[in-house]
Chains A and B, each alone.
Chain A
Amino acid sequence: MSRHTNAAVSLSDLLWRRPNLLLLILILPPALWLGIIYLGSLFALLAQSFFSIDEFSGVIQYELTLKTYGELFRPANFDIIVRTVVMAGAVTIGAAVVGFPVAYYAARYARGKWKAIFYLGVMMPLWSSYLVKVYSWKLILAKEGILNWLFETLHLGWLLNAYLAIPIIGGNSLSVSSTGTFLVFLYVWIPFMILPIQASLERVPHTMLEASGDLGARPYQTFLHVLLPLALPGVIAGSIFTFSLTLGDYIIPQIVGSSRRFIGQAVYAYQGTAGNIPLAAAFAVVPIVLMAFYLWIAKRKGAFDAL
């Protein structure tokens, strides 16, 4: 046996006899990478949020202060936070309403070929390009686009105009209204809601639904009192994604929507042209805190088993 293989054999023996050494070798590279690059960066961000900026010179003062966090509560900034949270909540509810039937059908009724179609039908939009998805809505919502054409062809243009006249959710056209932003958010994040709901519904035993029927429950009662409570952890798990993703997005409201800002846009603007990194960092902490709070509630409701 050559020396080379001898070394390999003794190293192999060493690793077999000392599983902890092997474990250390396995875990060290990923732990170092994520620990240094990712956690290190997160801490760098957190640290920045406790600095402040001199309002006259625009220079960052490296002294620990809560002043920057105080600025979040200025009306202009606080509005941004409220608007984003309301949008995230609306998108989450919308995704649950539109996504539930898809998940329910896929979990309960789809068999064989249809099961695969539903699976790919959710997976393809999930993985297809984010920007292309946003772009497709720019095409749809444009004034000369398909949606307006559809309303005109059906002679329902007046209905669309009446809807757009409503303040806050309306606007000059769909592509610059909050409704437009909502639709794009809903479209882009809905697969994240469907998958966990489907997973939780698939775990509901058939026999339980039959038992409910045997005990005299009408289908809607079975749905309301048996199926829905069992699917709730899945809905909450999905809402974690839709809520978190909407909170942090800055591209969709920039491309489709009114000029009113969202948290992500504020972060982007403050760190970029404004050069106010402390305030950008403080803004970025808002979604982290909101998500931590949300996750804490979700965990208490047992949503993590449905992930």
Chain B
Amino acid sequence: MHSDRAPMGLKVAAGLGLAFMHLPILLIFVYAFTTEDKSYQWPPPGFTLKWFAVTWGRTDVWEAMSLSLKVASISTVIALFLGTLCAAAVSRTKFFGREAISLLVILPIALPGIITGISLRSAFNLAEIPFSFWTIVLGHATFCVVVVYNNAVARFRRVSGSLVEASMDLGANSFQTFRYVILPNISTALLAGGMLAFALSFDEVIVTTFTAGQQQTLPIWMLEELVRPRERPVTNVVAMVVVIVTFLPILGAYYLTRGTDTVAGQGK
């Protein structure tokens, strides 16, 4: 008979696996408070809140942060628009090229980021488009579409066609039906997709290194610090803030899509 108690070995292996996935991130939280500023010494010689104040006063961190927030917001809006349209089209009808469209949406995230990055860069070069805020957004929106699409398409399939027809029979036009019947049904999926797209864009570095000119998003700032460390304590604090900033949308997306057949995050 099959028992519902897991064998001890499996429990230990699963626990170790989870620990492997979480302990490194937790370490960041400890390092943000260390008094050591020259090396990555363990155990930390002492704890201090000083580096939070130092980081707060750094203009380059604030500029990078605000650029990242702007890029992520605009990319999310574009991705929400394109992803929702695409999901609506793919979920409601079978048409010629439907498979091709869904493949096209997934491709930017299925192929390694470096390929998306260098492709965009060589295209910008060929078309003589100078690098700017908008070239970053162009790249980010392209790979964020898939996240919104994945969330929206699952929900669209669950909104039954009879609901839409009932609304039309009762005299609502297409726009009213969209506003009062379809939108309330898909809104949480869109919100979840939007949050995940935001987190994805906020964190993206590989494509950004190819599509940004002189500007520094927060991940690019961090990459610089990783390659050539200047002020380790500031990096530690920024790393901790980034963990928290991305943690919140993911948790939000989880609670918004909990209990539905498809849960957010599967599309990354």
Contacts of B216 in A (CB 8 A): none
Tell me, in angstroms, the Cα distance from A140 to B82 when the chains sit together.
Answer: 41
> Could you tell me the distance in whole angstroms from the C-beta of B128 to the nearest C-beta in chain A?
12
Is A190 in contact with chain B by the CB < 8 A criterion?
A: yes
B6 adjacent to A41 (CB under 8 Å): no
Q: Mark B35-63, 1 if CB is under 8 A from A, else 0.
A: 00001111100000000000000000000
Are B118 and A271 within 8 A (Cβ)? Answer: yes
**In the complex, chain B residues whose CB is within 8 Å of the CB of A26:** 85-86, 88-89
Chain A residue numbers with a CB within 8 Å of B112 are 244-245, 247-249, 264, 287
A195 at interface by CB-CB < 8 Å: yes
Instruction: Say whether, besides A127-B268, A135-B226, A138-B40, A34 and B142 are in contact (CB < 8 Å).
Output: yes
Q: Which residues of B contact A99 (CB under 8 A)?
A: 17
Given known contacts A33-B142, A34-B104, A129-B203, A146 and B27 CB-to-CB distance under 8 angstroms: yes
The one of A45, A101, A191 that contacts B118, using a Cβ cutoff of 8 Å: A45
* Cβ-defined contact, A132 with B42, below 8 A: no
Identity of the chain B residue whose Cβ is nearest the Cβ of A102 in the assembled complex: B17
Contact with B along A243-259 (1 / 0, CB 8 A): 01101111100110000
Which one, B14, B108, B173, B251, contacts A101 given CB within 8 A?
Answer: B14
Q: Is A9 an interface residue (CB 8 A)?
A: yes
Complex: A152 Cα to B15 Cα, angstroms: 25
Most buried by A among B86, B105, B115: B115
Evaluate contact between B21 and A144: CB separation under 8 angstroms: no
Q: A34-B104, A38-B107 are in contact. Are A280 and B24 (CB under 8 A)?
A: no
Q: Are A108 and B6 in contact (CB under 8 A)?
A: yes
Q: How large is the interface on B (under 10, 10 to 19, 20 to 34, 35 or more residues)?
A: 35 or more
**A29/B17 in contact, CB under 8 A:** no
Report the Cα distance A119→B1, complex, angstroms: 27
**Contact assessment for B82 and A38 in the assembled complex, using a CB-CB cutoff below 8 Å:** no
In the bound assembly, the distance between CA atoms of A15 and B168 in angstroms comes to 12
Name the contact of B196 in the complex, choosing from A33, A39, A127 (C-beta under 8 A).
A127
A255 to B113, CA, bound (A): 17
Report the Cα distance A121→B251, complex, angstroms: 11
From A247, which residue of chain B is reached at the shortest CB distance? B112
Q: CB-CB < 8 A to A45: which residues of B?
A: 115, 118-119, 122-123
What is the chain B residue whose CB lies nearest that of A26? B89
Q: Report A87-139 residues with CB < 8 Å from chain B CB.
A: 98-99, 101-102, 104-106, 108-109, 118-139
Q: Name which residue of chain B comes closest to A122, CB basis.
A: B21
Among residues of B, the one whose C-beta sits closest to the C-beta of A255 is B226
Q: Indicate if the CB atoms of A34 and B145 lie closer than 8 Å.
A: yes
* A82 lies within 8 A of chain B by Cβ: no
Q: Is A35's CB within 8 Å of the partner chain B?
A: yes
- A119 — which chain B residues lie within 8 A by C-beta? 254, 263
CA of A109 to CA of B17 in the docked complex: distance in angstroms? 15
Q: Is the CB of A129 within 8 A of B246?
A: yes
Q: By the criterion CB–CB under 8 Å, are B239 and A124 in contact?
A: no
Known: A26-B89, A30-B83, A206-B2. A133 touches B105 (CB 8 A): no
**17 A-B contacts, Cβ less than 8 Å apart?**
A23-B89, A23-B92, A31-B104, A41-B123, A102-B13, A126-B268, A128-B243, A132-B28, A133-B24, A135-B226, A135-B239, A139-B24, A144-B40, A247-B112, A251-B223, A271-B121, A281-B118
Q: Which 4 A-B pairs have the closest CB atoms?
A: A248-B112, A101-B13, A12-B173, A105-B14
